[in-house]
């Protein structure tokens, strides 16, 4: 009888262990508000509530359309990988553009004002660092298009980040006077057929980075156009004539896998 009781206890312990090891992520996502320069910004934070303890935080910066469902989904996907992810609102009050002209205006106001861009990005980063589920010493950032340029430029200016990933981001960047201050590892995921990045821009970027001694990795996806990770890219291109963007499922999957490997290497171990 005693032998059966011991066996039952061992079986119960093993069952509990297996269950804990195979427990599926329970993603908690919710809107948040934070302040910068006296204005209100609306972000979104996602994390796995089944995961215990602090973990790396990852900022997600939107395309020029603004804070929308696409980047919220990416934040949740990052949460499934074990990170706490936060969507950054670069326009304020959760603004979203409804036309390409409005998007260009909003993006231009931020890109054309380095101090404004830096303060808004840093406000989000500092807010993410205060979250209970975040290890404030392990922070990375990813960005798409306009957002890719934001995270890349932030890294080049010496932002205290472990790594940045730019998905089809702009490559016309301003090099820091003190390039040795670059702390972040840099990964650029580029569509070979991106209409918005000319061969001349690519040559200039590589030349500038080499002169400044900034190390980076670039992975190019054959046949991929601007917006290759955005499932709405085709509809947006059809709606707003003259835009050059197209979704590419293969490049989307491959680039996400490349980002996962990069972040794992940056943070070493979750």
Q: What is the pLDDT of residue 214?
A: 92
Query: Which residues, 6 or more positions from 91, have their beta carbon under 8 angstroms from its beta carbon?
Result: 66, 67, 106, 110
Token duo for residue 173: 């960047």
Which of 270, 256, 26 minimizes the C-alpha distance to 144?
A: 256
Q: What is the pLDDT of residue 19?
A: 46
Classified by CATH at the fold level, domain 26-267 comes out as: Rossmann fold (3.40.50)
Q: What is the pLDDT of residue 8?
A: 47
pTM over 0.75, yes/no: yes
Q: What is the pLDDT of residue 18?
A: 45
Query: In this structure, is the dihedral angle defined by the CA atoms of residues 98, 150, 146 and 30, taken in order, positive or negative?
Result: negative
Query: Which residues, 6 or more positions from 219, have their beta carbon under 8 angstroms from its beta carbon?
Result: 187, 188, 189, 190, 255, 258
How many angstroms separate the CA atoms of 103 and 90, rounded? 12
Q: What is the pLDDT of residue 17?
A: 46
How many angstroms separate the CA atoms of 219 and 4, rounded? 59
User: For the chain, which residues make up each domain, given as ranges?
Assistant: 26-267
Q: What is the pLDDT of residue 23?
A: 67
Q: What is the pLDDT of residue 177?
A: 72
Token duo for residue 221: 């996806």
The DSSP string of 47-99 is EETTS-S-EEEEEEE--TTBS-HHHHHHHHHHHHTT-EEEEE-SSSTT-B-SS
CB of 225 within 8 A of CB of 244?
yes
Query: Which residues, 6 or more positions from 174, have their beta carbon under 8 angstroms from its beta carbon?
Result: 114, 153, 156
Token duo for residue 156: 């080049």
Residue spans of the chain under pLDDT 50: 5-6, 8-11, 13-15, 17-21
Q: What is the pLDDT of residue 179?
A: 64
Q: What is the pLDDT of residue 22?
A: 53
64 burial (CB, 10 Å; 0-12 / 13-18 / 19+) is buried
């Amino acid at each position: 009888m005693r032998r059966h009781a011991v066996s039952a206890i061992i079986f119960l312990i093993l069952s509990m262990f297996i269950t804990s090891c195979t427990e599926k992520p329970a993603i908690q996502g919710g809107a948040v508000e934070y302040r910068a320069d006296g204005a209100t910004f609306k972000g979104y934070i996602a994390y796995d509530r089944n995961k215990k303890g602090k973990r790396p935080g990852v900022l997600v910066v939107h395309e020029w359309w603004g804070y929308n469902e696409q980047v919220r989904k990416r934040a949740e996907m990052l949460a499934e990988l074990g990170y706490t992810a936060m969507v950054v609102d670069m326009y304020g009050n959760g603004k979203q553009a409804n036309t390409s002209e409005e998007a260009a205006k909003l993006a231009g106001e931020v890109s054309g004002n380095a101090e404004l861009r830096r303060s808004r990005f840093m406000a989000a980063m500092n807010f993410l660092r205060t979250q209970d589920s975040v290890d404030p010493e392990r922070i990375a950032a990813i960005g798409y298009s306009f957002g890719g340029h934001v995270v890349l430029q932030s890294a080049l200016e010496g932002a205290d980040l472990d790594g940045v990933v730019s998905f089809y981001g702009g490559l016309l960047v301003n090099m820091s006077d003190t390039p040795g201050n670059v702390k972040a590892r840099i990964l650029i995921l580029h569509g070979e057929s991106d209409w918005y990045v000319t061969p001349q821009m690519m040559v200039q970027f590589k030349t500038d980075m080499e002169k400044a001694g900034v190390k980076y990795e670039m992975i190019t996806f054959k046949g991929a156009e601007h917006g290759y990770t955005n499932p709405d890219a085709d509809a947006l291109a059809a709606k707003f004539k003259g835009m050059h963007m197209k979704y590419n499922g293969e490049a989307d999957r491959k680039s996400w896998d490349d980002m996962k490997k990069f972040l794992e290497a940056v943070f070493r171990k979750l």
